[in-house]
Structure 1
């Protein structure tokens, strides 16, 4: 890897996350002002179908960058970059099309449990957009991952930002005229744009892949789906989190409550996502390191853990300050209900953030059992909270989310550190992690007091 390219890639990923996050909240503002909070909640519910598809897509699309990086670095001898790339894309298209069609026919039955009869027709009207997003999103994700594998995250960032700008412009033009359907159109055009432009960019880095994927190979399929099964086993556990939370909020508080959760969780996950996006640049670098380069791997992970610890504190402070601003921008007022939901989520997501580099190291190595267990704990906690909320214990669902996320972060460290031989990484980072935890607790406590003042 060229000197300085990791820094370049990290900054590019960070810049992408900032721009995309800002545009996302501007899009939400347009949608809420033009179509209302309930229609945003309806869209949020039906988009859980895309989560189902991601969990079912075992093509290895999300890990294509890992394979490309290993093949180019010579750590995956015997694999062909063209066969691997083409096989992943063709397999992803077939799987996602099958899942999308199945969801189109099954979703109306599930939505009856979370939506009122007057909102159900609107949700069914939007389902074709979800099917298109599932298919195109899987292909776009594979192409983006492939660009990461060439260690040109800066180019990936340009593609992603351009796609977000195009989507935003479509929303500005269509949503005031045709409502939430215009938002659906924008959400379809975005992955289509990413797929076409991203493939052009990837082809410049790997010219031999050609203009169209056409070479499906059985051995490449076995390798990519083997990794995909591990990766998507985790996605299946993640599947129990977001849809279950949204359906539970929908059943107990209606579509407006789902929209509030969507805004509260998006606010912190987008800010947290800045650091996560920057950390993703680690994957192709770690994948390209030879086994004899353990010292470099340790130094890289120490720096990454310490950096994400700083980022966690900054994310907590930024999210606490921005939460009322986001509420005012999107809803036109400072909503106490939104803020009371935001602060616990800010605490949980930022406390978990410093574990991301260790999580990614395990994912890169293909040893993901502790990552999987961390997601399972979140799912179990959410199920318990949903049941308690259903029997009338107010706040149980939100509390369970916080507990589950905290247990998740602890599990990632407790399991992966000994398994991957990263005790030296933790030894050098433990004081920084302890200080980070204290600062996040203090920031969120101050935020909770501030919400009380605003609520009065």
Structure 2
């Protein structure tokens, strides 16, 4: 995963230097490195995986599990190659093509599943997934060749210097990946320990509601990785200007999104659960705040990835990883599951602020003046206060109609402030760079 993530930055850097041949060499080298090494590992591990299934699967399900194992491993291999090629398209600034291909492949997966399952059972699902991932790898290579004419029909060129240049970046990214993988199970384990599985269910529902919407903003901001990588080679002042504009726009969108989402938590609670559940709303308000600050940090986070300086990103993830169990357990001891959510939100906020302030300092910007962009202080305060005011008294809610009225009253001032903000016209401006 470290090498795949590095493809975005190094391909964009090469294209920023107008060196299409080097960009093609990077993609070929990483595809061959991951493809060959993972093929060897998966083939060598096949007997171990088969033996492991005997220990973890019920006897009646074992034959089916063993029969789909080859499909699963082949799908994994194809998916790793797809990850490299997706990074190549991102590096070429063609996230639109990547999104269309990924979305189209999901439709193909569904179609083959419907076609094959009646005849093959669970093996039909596994075969459908293999067709999806392998077909996506082939088609994505063809699309990538149109962006980089120096790519051959089949990858064959491998260069050690490419791997050597990407090693440090990949190693840092692996630390980030590892820390990110541990965050979710640590939080869930703490809530389960201090509040039980019922509270964990409400936390998961609230957190998922926020994270699904958050992903739209984050993915839109990810374009900064190749953009900053290219500008680092041409114009550092323009790179700083791009960050400032991205920070303003992300701040504006985040304030509107998280403000409206927070205001509507009680309505979501009643629609989803069917009755007023205070814990769901409390979890939602806390995680909404934590992910709010984390999203505002993303332009700085992706700018670091584009520039190749991952130090502050790594430190940020380590701050979150170490503070979450400490604060979560400490506050959870006194406030049960709600205390764990408090500790998690505080950890996210502190880790995110570290990245943001570090980047402002590195770019020579005054973080005290620029952290909250000019003209957005009232919008920011409203996005923090209105969700709390709108959800007061959820335990005594008289029903969905009353909750909807309170939510509407909370949304109105937020929408007015968002409408009169100059960033609105910039956001919806078409045909011009933002």
What corresponds to 1:415 in structure 2? 358
1:449 counterpart = 2:401:
no
What corresponds to 1:265 in structure 2? 207
Question: Which deviations, in whole Å up to 9, do the C-alpha atoms of 1:21-75 show, x marking residues without a partner?
Answer: xxxxxxxxxxxxxxxxxxxxxxxxxxxxxxxxxxxx33x2012122111112217
Provide the alpha-carbon RMSD of the alignment: 4.5
1:280 counterpart = 2:222:
yes
Asked if the contact 1:385/1:398 (under 8 Å) is kept, the reply is: no
Rounded Cα–Cα distance in structure 1 between residues aligned with 2:212 and 2:37: 28
- TM-score by structure 2 length? 0.73
Asked if the contact 2:361/2:367 (under 8 Å) is kept, the reply is: no
Asked if the contact 1:203/1:209 (under 8 Å) is kept, the reply is: yes
Asked if the contact 1:305/1:429 (under 8 Å) is kept, the reply is: no
Q: Match of 1:208, SS?
A: coil
Residue in structure 1 matching 2:292, options 346, 350, 364 = 350
1:45-444 → structure 2 map (5 Å cutoff): 57-58=1-2, 60-74=3-17, 80-93=22-35, 98=41, 134-167=76-109, 191-249=133-191, 260-290=202-232, 293-320=235-262, 333=274, 336=277, 337-385=279-327, 387-388=329-330, 394-395=336-337, 396-423=339-366, 427=370, 430-432=373-375, 434-444=377-387
Question: Which deviations, in whole Å up to 9, do the C-alpha atoms of 1:225-279 show, x marking residues without a partner?
Answer: 2221122222222222123234445666777766654443232122111111111
Asked if the contact 1:347/1:444 (under 8 Å) is kept, the reply is: no
Rounded Cα–Cα distance in structure 1 between residues aligned with 2:34 and 2:360: 32
What corresponds to 1:52 in structure 2? none
Q: Match of 1:240, SS?
A: helix
Structure with max Cα Rg: 2
- Which range moves more in the overlay, 379-388 or 137-146? 379-388
Question: Which deviations, in whole Å up to 9, do the C-alpha atoms of 1:58-102 show, x marking residues without a partner?
Answer: 3x2012122111112217x79822331122123334565648959
What corresponds to 1:20 in structure 2? none
Rounded Cα–Cα distance in structure 2 between residues aligned with 1:255 and 1:174: 37
1:308 to partner: Cα distance = 0.5
Larger RCO (alpha carbons 8 Å, 6+ apart): 1
- Which range moves more in the overlay, 390-399 or 308-317? 390-399
Rounded Cα–Cα distance in structure 2 between residues aligned with 1:183 and 1:264: 30
1:344 to partner: Cα distance = 1.6
Asked if the contact 2:179/2:318 (under 8 Å) is kept, the reply is: yes
Rounded Cα–Cα distance in structure 1 between residues aligned with 2:274 and 2:17: 56
1:131 to partner: Cα distance = 5.5
Q: Match of 1:313, SS?
A: helix
Asked if the contact 1:301/1:358 (under 8 Å) is kept, the reply is: yes
- Cα 1:372–1:437 change in 2 (3 A) is farther
1:430 to partner: Cα distance = 3.6
- TM-score by structure 1 length? 0.70
- Cα 1:246–1:173 change in 2 (3 A) is farther
Rounded Cα–Cα distance in structure 2 between residues aligned with 1:324 and 1:196: 46
What corresponds to 1:27 in structure 2? none
**Unaligned segments of structure 2, at least 5 residues:** 400-434
Rounded Cα–Cα distance in structure 2 between residues aligned with 1:298 and 1:136: 37
Asked if the contact 2:331/2:342 (under 8 Å) is kept, the reply is: no
**Unaligned segments of structure 1, at least 5 residues:** 1-56
Question: Which deviations, in whole Å up to 9, do the C-alpha atoms of 1:382-436 show, x marking residues without a partner?
Answer: 2225545886851232222111111112101222221233448954854356445
Rounded Cα–Cα distance in structure 2 between residues aligned with 1:107 and 1:378: 37
- Cα 1:207–1:421 change in 2 (3 A) is same
- Cα 1:79–1:219 change in 2 (3 A) is farther
Question: Which deviations, in whole Å up to 9, do the C-alpha atoms of 1:340-399 show, x marking residues without a partner?
Answer: 432321121012222211111112111121111111111112222554588685123222
- Which range moves more in the overlay, 396-405 or 159-168? 159-168
- Which range moves more in the overlay, 351-360 or 433-442? 433-442
Asked if the contact 1:358/1:416 (under 8 Å) is kept, the reply is: yes
Rounded Cα–Cα distance in structure 1 between residues aligned with 2:8 and 2:232: 17
Asked if the contact 1:62/1:145 (under 8 Å) is kept, the reply is: yes
